[in-house]
Amino acid sequence: MRRHLAAAGPASADVAWERYADPQLWSTWSPQIAAVETSTPRLATGTTGVVRGHGGLLLDFLAEEVDDAARRWSWSVVPRRAGGLPLPEALQRLGRLHLVHAVLDSGLGVGTGCATTLLVTGSAPVVTAYAPLAGLALDRLVR
């Protein structure tokens, strides 16, 4: 299943992009993220890491493509542990998501904000459950 989400807000495109590019900032605008551990301090193609959700959910990720100039990036996320226990392979496959993010300047001039888009691809139950949280996070990203 594929789901497209978008949000617009007063943050500049540069500010919103920096909130993506610095993984240590993810938990400041994405309420489902408690912490992030990464192989690089700044998001780059090939960055790997672990997103720690609340309640003991651990998701491994790989940043597949990061384009600072275009303010666009894509990554794959796989849940590995929940509640301190490893997830069975079948649940890992079911929970796998591919996400493509972009930050767009409003095009209306300085101080007019930005928009962000997200394309989420994965199993229908997981995409459907994740979409409201992702929408909230996107709204916070551009505020």
Return the domain boundaries, the chain: 2-141
d(CA 36, CA 24): 6
CATH superfamily of 2-141: START domain (3.30.530.20)
pLDDT tens digits in sequence order for the chain, 143 residues long: 999 999 999 999 999 999 999 999 999 999 999 999 999 999 999 999 999 998 899 999 999 999 999 999 999 999 999 998 999 999 999 999 999 999 999 766 566 799 999 999 999 999 999 999 999 999 999 99
The answer to whether residues 85 and 55 touch, using CB atoms and an 8 Å cutoff, is no
Residue 8 burial (10 A CB sphere; 0-12, 13-18, 19+): middle
In sequence order, what are the residues at sequence separation of 6 or more whose Cβ sits closer than 8 angstroms to the Cβ of residue 89? none
pTM beyond 0.85: the answer is: yes
